[in-house]
Homo-oligomer: A and B are copies of this chain.
Amino acid sequence: MAANINNQMLEAILAQVRPLLGQGKVADYIPALASVNGNKLGIAIRTVDGQHFQAGDATERFSIQSISKVLSLVAAMRQYDEDEIWQRVGKDPSGQPFNSLLQLEIEQGKPRNPFINAGALVVCDMLQSRLSAPRQRMLEIVRQLSGVSDIAYDAAVARSEFEHSARNAAIAWLMKSFGNFHNDVPTVLQNYFHYCALKMNCVELADTFLFLAAQGYAPHLSEPVVTSMQARQVNALMATSGMYQSAGEFAWRVGLPAKSGVGGGVVAIVPHEMAIAVWSPELDETGNSLAGVAVLERLSLKLGRSVY
């Protein structure tokens, strides 16, 4: 199985994709993101058998944004029974923009899945109910999974998000009106925005998410992060709802479970083989990294590693 990956191959793919830089648009809904240099492009791969590969801006940290939604879900899966989670949030694609209230109103405050904002807010609400210090706990998880002790929140980004939080506040209050949000809205929003403001680089992300490729095991930890079945389930959710509204298009082009963030990061999983993290800040019109997706498309083709 061992795919013939090496750093030169990754460099070559980056070179092929680099002409796309300039065709997307850096997220600009908050100043702290708008100021990011759109020209960045990086990739890192960590395989289950211990190899590391990387190319480009793989060690420069960026705001992981919605990639954190996978981490908060995993944290919740470790705190709650399966039923407790899935009676409050669904598992199916939404077919709507990630921050829509429309479907949420029609479906009585139950978000379609944990990777749209509403769903992630419910998950954060659940963490707030069970954890004494949810922000500190998330840092511990990420530091433990990545093996990097100085991973931290970007306080400026978190503050900036909170100052522009009206839409997410509306979502949280709407869920509260349906009884599907239990804690103080600003407190949970603060946690949510801090998770989004985690600052990590591609290498750290590939290391952190390796357990999803390795049936729940992080190689350097004695205890599994989640069960083998749970790792499979999280991958399934990423495959159907991980790329905002273009899950189908991404499955068609790339064919890997993946989660993106508006910071330009994308994490993709080749089950049983490897975790991949790419970063390029310019987004396409669906909110996914334009060059990042193109890198994954070429890599998947090169390695013959679509899951389909």
* A interface, CB within 8 angstroms of B: 90-96, 100-103, 105-106, 112-113, 166-167, 169-174, 176-177, 181, 185, 232-233, 235-237, 239-241, 245-249, 251-252, 255, 257, 269, 271, 306-308
Contacts and interface: CB of A to CB of B under 8 A. Distances in A.
Given A105-B102, A271-B307, A249 B91 contact: yes
Contacts of A103: 95
Contact of A307 (B173, B176, B245, B307): B307
Nearest to A171: B170
29 contacts: A91-B249, A92-B246, A93-B248, A95-B95, A95-B112, A100-B105, A101-B170, A101-B174, A102-B102, A102-B105, A102-B106, A113-B248, A166-B173, A166-B181, A167-B174, A167-B177, A169-B173, A169-B176, A169-B177, A170-B170, A232-B255, A233-B308, A237-B251, A239-B239, A240-B247, A240-B248, A269-B308, A307-B307, A307-B308
A97 B306 CA distance: 28
A222 to B, nearest CB: 24
A181 B170 CA distance: 12
A306 B249 contact: no
Q: Which of A171, A232, A236, A246 has the most CB of B within 10 A?
A: A236
A170 B177 contact: yes
A95 to B, nearest CB: 2
A247 B94 CA distance: 11
A106 to B, nearest CB: 7
B91 A93 contact: no
Contacts of A92: 93, 95, 245-249
A103 B102 CA distance: 8
Contacts of A185: 169
A236 B166 contact: no
A236 B308 contact: yes
A94 B105 CA distance: 16
Q: Which 6 A-B pairs have the closest CB atoms?
A: A95-B95, A93-B93, A166-B177, A235-B308, A170-B173, A92-B248
Nearest to A231: B308
A298 B181 CA distance: 34
Contacts of A90: 248-249
B248 A241 contact: yes
A245 B257 CA distance: 19
A307 B233 CA distance: 11
A246 to B, nearest CB: 6
A271 B308 contact: yes
